[in-house]
Amino acid sequence: MPRPRKSRSAPRRALPAARAKVTLLVGTRKGAFFLESSKDRRRWRLAGPHFLGNIVHHVVLDPRDRRTLLLAARTGHLGPTVFRSLDFGRTWQEAKRPPAFPKAQAAEAKREVDHVFWLSPGHASEPDVWYAGTSPQGLFRSGDGGMTWEGIAGFNENPMREKWTGGAQDGTPDGPKMHSILIDPRDARHLYIGMSSGGVFETRDRGHSWQPLNQGCRADFLPDPYPEYGHDPHCVRLHPLRPDRLYQQNHCGIYRMERAEGRWVRIGEAMPKTVGDIGLPLVLHPRDPDTLWVFPMDGTTVWPRVSPDGKPAVYVTRNGGRSWQRLDRGLPRAQAWWTVKRQAMSADTREPAGIYFGTTGGELWGSVDGGRRFACLARHLPEIYSIEAAGS
């Protein structure tokens, strides 16, 4: 694979919102695609694929320099790895040392990274730091822009890790996930993580020690519905303008936490009872910590992972979850049996905010007016795993 050309150019400045284009970075089951908008977001151009035939779980543009791309892939010949591009995908370089668990000693159980699932840029004060979450649940850090990775021993080697994660047993179809790696914008030492079969955890010392953060959140699938850990958060978010407020879309509903209170409150109970509050993704408004969007799926006992009754819709709250509004204008009215995965929904920073989601059926939908009306931006892609709005 060709090595990228070295670039000595200065980081690109953010364009004014009225002039900037939006690029959607799309990870799919068969490669990555980039969908670029015109300046008014009325026209879109699809480019790619990159890494055709390989599973791409996540593609992220570094907001600190606005030119570095990291891509998490499970390739047929290299296995789980990370690639970096410094020229917006024209060339890629594989990590010299991808995330990997240490080789097991004779008496230890063998652990291998099946895939790198989640990528998060580090704190603004640490321009070369990245974090990665894997399946099975592992947490890794890079200090050189994603080229070499080290396990965070405070979690990966923690004597409680197996109890926290539930061991090898997991109900997620393609393996347990470490996801939602969140960095407090005020403090590089303060991080949150989410885990399927584990819950939400917090560290205030760069990952040396961890505490469960699940009080008030239900785990209906366990004998004790309110355990200390063992929950299944699907997506956790914090807002940079109000970082002491957390939201999560959980296996058992939609929740909000005010960190000072330290307890999750189920705000999804205000959703229509015929729809419920079960889903995978959750997206925050770029400028309003009270506004968020979710995409519900059928949460009945069989968990078919499709839109309720085959009628997809986005739901929005503009008051922190006290009430919700259905947004389905432009979406199929019936017989649309797909859903949206936890990383496959994103928002840009334009005014009004654009909302984008990709489906398990390979369609990419977008709204450039905050969800009032949706249009299909691309069809016939492979199953969409992730979307990140960049360049806005």
DSSP of 103-126: PPPTTSPP----EEEEEEE--TT-
What local confidence, expressed as pLDDT, does residue 170 receive? 59
What whole-number distance in Å separates Cα of residue 85 and Cα of residue 82? 10
Q: Using pLDDT thresholds of 50, 70 and 90, give the confidence band for residue 104.
A: confident
What local confidence, expressed as pLDDT, does residue 181 receive? 98
Residue type at 343 in one-letter notation? Q
Nearest to 348 by CA among 381, 307, 377: 377
Neighbours of 312 (CB within 10 A): 26
The reply to whether omega before 49 is within 30° of 0 (cis) is yes
What local confidence, expressed as pLDDT, does residue 166 receive? 84
What whole-number distance in Å separates Cα of residue 27 and Cα of residue 266? 31
Which is it for the CA torsion 363, 36, 122, 14, positive or negative? Answer: negative
- Compute the half-sphere exposure of residue 308: CA atoms within 13 Å on the CB side of its CA: 20
Flag whether pLDDT at 108 surpasses 80.
Answer: no
What local confidence, expressed as pLDDT, does residue 18 receive? 47
What whole-number distance in Å separates Cα of residue 192 and Cα of residue 245? 12
**CB burial class (10 A; 0-12, 13-18, 19+) of residue 58?**
buried
SS3 category, 342: coil
What whole-number distance in Å separates Cα of residue 344 and Cα of residue 273? 25
Residue type at 112 in one-letter notation? E
Flag whether pLDDT at 15 surpasses 70.
Answer: no
What local confidence, expressed as pLDDT, does residue 20 receive? 78
**CB burial class (10 A; 0-12, 13-18, 19+) of residue 108?**
exposed
Helices (H) and strands (E) in the chain, counts: 2, 28
Architecture of domain 232-392: 7 Propeller (2.130)
Average pLDDT, the chain: 92
What whole-number distance in Å separates Cα of residue 8 and Cα of residue 388? 26
Going by their DSSP bridges, the two strands 375-378 and 115-121 should be labelled as unpaired
Report domain extents, the chain: 232-392
Stronger pLDDT, 96 or 174, i.e. the higher one: 96
Going by their DSSP bridges, the two strands 31-37 and 44-50 should be labelled as antiparallel
- % of the chain at pLDDT higher than 90: 86
pLDDT in tens, 349-382: 999 999 999 999 999 999 999 999 999 999 999 9
What local confidence, expressed as pLDDT, does residue 290 receive? 98
What local confidence, expressed as pLDDT, does residue 6 receive? 36
**What order of strands is seen across the sheet that includes strand 191-195?**
178-183, 191-195, 199-203, 211-212
Q: Using pLDDT thresholds of 50, 70 and 90, give the confidence band for residue 103.
A: confident
Stronger pLDDT, 35 or 18, i.e. the higher one: 35
Which is it for the CA torsion 360, 366, 369, 374, positive or negative? Answer: negative
Contact (Cβ atoms closer than 8 angstroms) between residue 178 and residue 139: yes
Q: Using pLDDT thresholds of 50, 70 and 90, give the confidence band for residue 392.
A: low
Q: CA 353, 357, 361: angle at the middle one, nearest 5?
A: 160
Over residues 247-251, the mean pLDDT reads 97
Phi, psi of 72 (to 5 degrees): -100, 120
pLDDT in tens, 127-186: 999 999 999 999 999 999 999 999 999 999 999 999 999 876 656 778 899 999 999 999
